[in-house]
Structure 1
Amino acid sequence: MKLTDYTSYADAQAHASSAALWELFDGGREHLNIAHECITRHADGSGRPAVRIAHADGHDEILSFDTISSGAAQFAHWLDAEGVKPGERIAFMLEPSLPFYVCLFGAMQTGAISVPLFTLFGPDALRLRVGDCNPSVLITNSEKAELARSVANDDGTPRVIVADEAFLATLKDLPTTYTPKTKATDMAVFQYTSGTTRELPEAVKHSHKTLVTLMFAALYGTGIRPGDEFFCPSSPAWGHGLWHGTLAPLAMGVTTGTFAGRFDPVRLMKALDDFKITNMSAAATHYRMMKNSGKGGDFTFHFEKLSFTGEPIDPATLEWIDEYFKVPACSMYGTTEIGVVLVNYPGAKDFVVKPGSLGKAVPGQKLEVHRPDGTVCDPGEIGELMLWRGGGWMTTKDRAKTDEDGYFYHCGRADDVIISAGWTMSAVEIENTMLRHDNVMECGVIGVPDEKRGQVVKAFVVANCEGSDALTKELQEFTRERLAQHEFPRIVEYVDELPKNPAGKVHRKKLRDLEAERAAAAAG
C-alpha cells in the first residue's frame, strides 16, 4: 500500500517515511521534475480537469491536464529556441490562468527556475525582487506590461513577454511533448515571502525534490487524497497557494481549484457550491470574510476536510465554520523557510481536532516549547516554539504553549508579546477575544509605549457600527471579563480597514510603525 491509501493518525505514525514518500513519484533521488510529476504524467488524453479557476467577474475556467501539458511543452520548446539556459530565472506576474500554468510548468521542464510574483506588487516591491533574482524573462499580462518594463535594467533585462492569446498562438506549431532532464537537486522555484519594500526577505530556493518533502504537508496538513475535489483560494504567488494549493494536489492527480482577481467571499462560496468541493485549504482571513459576508446560508456545501494556515482562526469564526461547513477546520502551521511542521491530520477519524490548537507534529518532526534558558516549558506555560533541525534547536520566532495531551497552541510572534506593568500578554489572545464581540469585524492589537506601565494594549478595530466612547468601554469590559482584569485594550482606535500582508494576515508591524511615526511627529 502507498501512503495515499492510509487516512488514520495511527497509520501516519506507523508508515510515513522518506522512502514511502518517494514511492508516490515517477522520478527518483537522482532525476525528478516537478512539471512531469504534477502535469505530464497525468495527461492521459481523457481531458480530466487539473485546475478550476473561479474568476472574480463570475465566470469559471476549467483547464485539463492535457491542455496544460501540451502548452507547457510548447513553452519549454520556445524557451529553448530563445536560448534560455537551465538555471536562468523566469519570473511570472500573472493571475491564475492558462498562460500562468503553461509558463510555470514549461519553464520548470527546461531546468529554468520559476519565480512567481504577486500581481498587486507596486514598482518598488517589483523592482527589488527583479533586482534580487535577475530573471532573463518576465512574463505578465497586458495590464501589467508597462509596470514590468519600468523595472528593467539598463541592459534591457528582463525581457518582458505579454502572455496573451496572441502569444500562445505563436506556440501552437511547436511540439506538444518535452522530455525534461533535471536532477532532483536542481533549483526549480525561487519563492519570496511577503516582506516589505525596505526589508526584502531573501528568496527561499526550492529544488525539484522539494515536491517530495511537501507531500507530508499535503497528506497530513491538508489531508489530500485521490478522489478529493480540492480548492485553495490563496494566490499561487505565495507559498500556500503555490505549494499546498497547486503543486501538492496536482502531484497526486487531484483536481485543484483557485481564485483569480479581487477576492470576494460570496463569489468563493458560490464556486465551492458549484464545484462541489470536498476539501479546502485557505487562509484564516478567507474564512473570516466568508463569515462576515452573512451569506453562508445561501449556499450548499459538501466538505469532508478543511484546513487553514497563516494565523489562528478566532473562536467566533470557528463556530461559524461548525455551523455552515459542519466539519472541523484544521490548523496547519509552518513557514516558507521551514515548511509545514504542525498539523491536525484532516480526515483522520482517530485524531481529535481541538479548537484553537496547532495540532501535533508532522511525522518525523520534533518540536518543543522552551524557556529563555533552553529548558522545556510545562504544559500551559508560554515560551518560544523551537524546531529540531540539523542536529540542533532552531527558533521559529513564534510563541506557543502545549497542553497535557501534547497539542501545541500559537501565542503570537515573539515580537507580538506585550509586557505591561510586568504582565505578559498575547496580542493574538486579545484579538481573538475581541472578535467574539458582535460589533467587531476585524481587530489588530499591539503594545504602545506608556510612561507608567512600559507598554499598554492598543486595539485597532473595524466595527460594523460607528465607534464611540460607549462602545470602547463595552469592548474593554467584554475583554477583561473573558481574559483577566489586566488584559484588555486601554486604547481603542476605530479604523475603516487594517493593513494586511499579501497572505491576508493583519500586519501588526505596520501598526507599530504607524504608532512610532505618530509619536515622532508629536515629539518633533
Structure 2
Amino acid sequence: MSTSTMQKDQNAVITHYNFAREVVDKFAVEQADKTAIVWVDESGHEETVSFSTLSLESQRLASALQAQGVKRGDTVIILMGRQLEWWYTMTACLRMGLVASPGTTQLSEKDIAYRLEATGATCLIAESGQAEKLRAVKSSSPQLKHIITVGEHNCEGMLDYHELLRNAQADFPAVDTESSEDALCYFTSGTTGYPKMCIHNHIYAKAHTTTGKYWLDLGDDDLHWNLSDTGWAKAAWSSYFAPWLRGAAIFVHHSPGFNPEQSLAMFSRYNITTFCAAPTVYRMFVQCELSNINFGKLRHCVGAGEPLNAEVIDVWKKASGITIRDGYGQTESVILCGNTPQMTPKPGSMGKPIPGIDLAVIDDDGNRLPANQEGDIAVNVSPKPPLGLFKEYKGLPEKTAACFRNGWYITGDRATVDEEGFFWFVSRADDVILSSGYRIGPFEVESALLEHASVIESAVTSSPDSERGEVVKAFIVVAEGVEANDELKQQLQQHVKSVTAPYKYPRKIEFVKQLPKTVSGKIRRVELREKEWSNAG
C-alpha cells in the first residue's frame, strides 16, 4: 500500500468499530481453527488458543459480567500478568463496550486505590495473588461492585472467575460501539501530580494496522512474541491489536520473572518469527553466550521504550543475523516513527515517520526546523489528527490542551532530524524517567520518600545506567539528627517499594545538605539531571 493510499485509508470516516467483532469474531467465523495464541507457562504446560475459542471465551465472560450488572460504559480495571484470562478479559471488555484499564501487578495498594477513585471503576478483575491488596482497598471504593479473581486461591468476599463462567453462555454478540466511544484507559506518569488517565477510543484498535504492517512486519503465518508487561500500553500494541489485525498469532511465555537464557531458548523451541522487547532485554541478551543459540525461524526484531545502543544492535546482528529495528510511539499513540524493513536503518536512530503520520521536529512557534537542529517531536494534527492519537487525559482538560500547539500534537520528547529524514532522540522535554521501558514520574517517587520521617526534602531525576538506560536517582535532605548512611539508603529504598510500585524505587540515593531551587522556591530537577549526566560523560 502506498503512503497516499494509507493516508486516504487513515482519513476514511468510520463511524462504528468494535475490534472483537471486526477481527476476533470474523476470524472465528471464517477461519475457526486459526491460531490466535500459543501460550506456555513456567512448568512447560502449553495451550494453543484458536480465534474460535477466544471468541467463545470472551462471549462467556461478557455474559457473566452482564449478569452481575456490569454495563456498557463502565470501567473495568485489569490486574493480571500473562494468564490467558487477560486476553479473554480484554476481548470481553471491547465486546461489551466497557472501558478496559489494564495495570501492572506490581501496583501497590495505594496505586490501586488511586486508580479506582480516578476511574470510578465498578469492576476489578485480577489474579488471585493480588487478593490481599484488593481486600484492603475494597472498603474505600464504594462504587466498586465486584472483584473477580483468577487463580487457584480461595479469595473470600470475591468472585471466582472460573466459577462465574461455569454456566455462562457464549451468546454475546459484540456491541455496535461508536468509533469515538471510550475503549481503553491507560495511566501514564508525568512530571507533576499522579499518573494521568490516557483515554483511547475504539478506532484506536484499527489504527494499529500501521504498527503491525510497517514496524512489526507481520503477516498471516507469523508467530509474534512481545515481552512487554500486560499493564502497559505496549501490550496493546504488540500483544493484542497489531498481530491480530495482520492475522498473526501471539506467543506468550507466562513466568514469574525474566531469565535471558531461558528466553533465548524459546526462539527455536516454538518457531517464533518476530520479536519485540525493551532495550534492557537486548542488553541482557548480549551478555549471554550467543554463539550457540539456535534462533530458529526468527526473522525480525524490534525495540521500543527508550533509545537502543548501537553496540547492542551490532552484537545481536553478528549472533542472529538480524538487525534490531528501533521504533517510536507513546501511550498516547500508535507507532509514529521507526526503522522499517523497507529501509536501511542507521544504528541508534529512531528511523523515519510511518506512512500516514506527518512527524516533524519543530520550534516553539510550530515551525519545522532545519536538519540537525534540536526541537520538539510533534505530530501534525491539522486539519485533523491521524487515527490512533489519544482522545484526552480524562478529567484534565488543561493538560490535554497543553499537548497541542499551532496545529501540532507535542509529544514531550526532543530530537533532531538529519538530511536523510532520520530522527535522532535527544531527551525528554520534561523530567519523566524512562527506565527499562518503564515510564516513571519523579513526583510519585518524591511523594513516597516524603512519607518517611527521616526525609525533609527530596528531588528525583534520571541517572545513566549501562543496562537499564537510565535509573531513578533521589537527592535527599534528611531531618535534623538523622544519620545519612547506607543503612538509611536501604530503608528508604524499601519504603518506596512498600508504598508504590517496586519498579519506581530509587536505585541510587545521594544525601545532600540542600537542593537547587528557583527564586520562587521550585526545585530545579533539570540542574541535578544535567550534572548527573555530565559527570557520567
TM-score (norm 1): 0.74
Is contact 2:219-2:247 (8 Å) kept? no
Task: Check 1:229–1:338 CA distance in 2 against 1; reply closer, same or farther (3 A cut).
Answer: closer
Q: Report the AA paired with residue 402 of structure 1.
A: V
Partner of 1:472: none
Partner of 1:333: 328
Is contact 1:90-1:139 (8 Å) kept? yes
- Structure 2 distance, partners of 1:368, 1:19, is 21
Task: Check 1:315–1:46 CA distance in 2 against 1; reply closer, same or farther (3 A cut).
Answer: same
Aligned counterparts, 1:52-71, within 5 A: 52-71=38-57
1:407 equivalent in alignment to 2:394: no
- Secondary structure of 1:39 counterpart: helix
Task: Check 1:518–1:51 CA distance in 2 against 1; reply closer, same or farther (3 A cut).
Answer: farther
1:117 equivalent in alignment to 2:103: yes
- Secondary structure of 1:143 counterpart: helix
Partner of 1:32: 17
Partner of 1:219: 213
Counterpart selection for 2:253 from 244, 251, 259: 259
Is contact 1:37-1:251 (8 Å) kept? no
Q: Report the AA paired with residue 176 of structure 1.
A: A
Aligned counterparts, 1:455-494, within 5 A: none
Task: Check 1:177–1:248 CA distance in 2 against 1; reply closer, same or farther (3 A cut).
Answer: farther
- Structure 1 distance, partners of 2:515, 2:338, is 45
* Aligned length in residues: 432
1:285 equivalent in alignment to 2:280: yes
Is contact 1:234-1:258 (8 Å) kept? no
1:19 equivalent in alignment to 2:14: no
Q: Report the AA paired with residue 340 of structure 1.
A: I
Task: Check 1:194–1:46 CA distance in 2 against 1; reply closer, same or farther (3 A cut).
Answer: same
- Structure 1 distance, partners of 2:116, 2:102, is 11
Q: Which has the higher contact order (CA 8 A, sep 6+)?
A: 2
Give the alignment's Cα RMSD to 1 decimal.
3.5
- Structure 2 distance, partners of 1:446, 1:30, is 44
Per-residue Cα deviation, 1:467-495 (whole angstroms, up to 9, x for no partner):
xxxxxxxxxxxxxxxxxxxxxxxxxxxxx
Task: Check 1:311–1:20 CA distance in 2 against 1; reply closer, same or farther (3 A cut).
Answer: closer
Is contact 2:369-2:375 (8 Å) kept? yes
Is contact 2:474-2:506 (8 Å) kept? no
Task: Check 1:447–1:266 CA distance in 2 against 1; reply closer, same or farther (3 A cut).
Answer: closer
Counterpart selection for 2:339 from 344, 347, 370: 344
Aligned counterparts, 1:66-105, within 5 A: 66-105=52-91
Is contact 1:382-1:400 (8 Å) kept? yes
- Secondary structure of 2:14 counterpart: coil
Question: Which segment drifts farther, 397-406 or 380-389?
Answer: 380-389
Q: Report the AA paired with residue 160 of structure 1.
A: I
Q: Which runs of 5 or more residues in structure 2 are unaligned?
A: 153-159, 384-406, 433-460, 476-492, 518-537
Counterpart selection for 1:236 from 230, 234, 237: 230
Task: Check 1:410–1:156 CA distance in 2 against 1; reply closer, same or farther (3 A cut).
Answer: closer
Task: Check 1:50–1:111 CA distance in 2 against 1; reply closer, same or farther (3 A cut).
Answer: same
Is contact 1:386-1:395 (8 Å) kept? yes
Q: Report the AA paired with residue 274 of structure 2.
A: N
- Following superposition, the deviation at residue 325 of structure 1 comes to 2.4
- Secondary structure of 1:386 counterpart: strand
Per-residue Cα deviation, 1:111-140 (whole angstroms, up to 9, x for no partner):
121111111111122111121112111111
- Structure 2 distance, partners of 1:521, 1:416, is 16
Partner of 2:386: none
Identity over aligned pairs, percent: 24
TM-score (norm 2): 0.72
Q: Report the AA paired with residue 125 of structure 2.
A: I
Counterpart selection for 1:185 from 180, 185, 190: 180
- Following superposition, the deviation at residue 158 of structure 1 comes to 4.5
Counterpart selection for 2:136 from 135, 146, 150: 150
Per-residue Cα deviation, 1:247-280 (whole angstroms, up to 9, x for no partner):
2112332101233332222222222221211111
Partner of 2:239: 245
Is contact 1:56-1:262 (8 Å) kept? no
Task: Check 1:416–1:113 CA distance in 2 against 1; reply closer, same or farther (3 A cut).
Answer: closer
- Following superposition, the deviation at residue 50 of structure 1 comes to 1.1
- Following superposition, the deviation at residue 169 of structure 1 comes to 4.3
Q: Report the AA paired with residue 369 of structure 2.
A: C
Partner of 1:271: 266
Per-residue Cα deviation, 1:325-373 (whole angstroms, up to 9, x for no partner):
2122111111111332112223x2xx22111111111222222223456
- Following superposition, the deviation at residue 72 of structure 1 comes to 0.8
Question: Which segment drifts farther, 142-151 or 385-394?
Answer: 385-394
Q: Report the AA paired with residue 216 of structure 2.
A: T
